[in-house]
Amino acid sequence: MDHAGVLALFDRDMREGARPDGPDALVERVGGVVRQVSSALGWNGVVWSDLDEAGADAAIAAQIAHFRGLGREFEWKLYGHDLPVDLGQRLRDAGFTAEPEETLMIGEVADLNLDAEPPEGVRMISVTDRAGVDLVAEVHEKAFGTDGSRLRHQLLAQLTADPDTVVAVVAL
């Protein structure tokens, strides 16, 4: 697998080319930053940046000022290959708090067993209504130990605005 190529494709399609994650969200491209602005209940943050050492601190300060002006808390999604190489430290110096490290997992479809059934006693339920959204939020809360209100709001808003775009399954 071409790791650099996969990361470049991920950055291009999922980060630089990000689309709003709900009907009340807007993706904005400002300078070398792509950010999502949503309601206070939605997810707000920087999803991608193309910064160099000379302009990184000013770009960070500009995003802080922008979201502060909206009265929104926000997150800066940081990946290990983001530049400049000290971006994480610059974000911490600007007042951000690092969350636990996440991992992007990618597998080649040809190597996957697509005929696998869930383990005995586990059933998969498609999310198509409020009850399904509540299940997703409940599982999220139990799995991550965090409040699922934001996720619940986003999925319900998306189901209301365009139900065919919601792709969610709950394993019980």
Give dist(CA 112, CA 160) in Å, integer.
Answer: 34
State phi, psi for 112 to the nearest 5 degrees.
-95, 145
**Residue 35 backbone phi and psi in degrees, to 5:** -130, 155
**pLDDT score recorded for residue 33:** 98
Instruction: Give the pLDDT of residue 158.
Output: 86
State the residue for tokens 């080649």: 108
pLDDT tens, 125-151?
Answer: 888 899 999 999 999 999 989 899 988
In this predicted structure, the answer to whether residue 115 has a pLDDT above a threshold of 90 is: no
**For 35-71, what is each residue's pLDDT tens digit?**
999 998 889 999 999 999 999 999 999 999 999 999 9
Q: Please give the structure tokens belonging to residue 85.
A: 């190489």
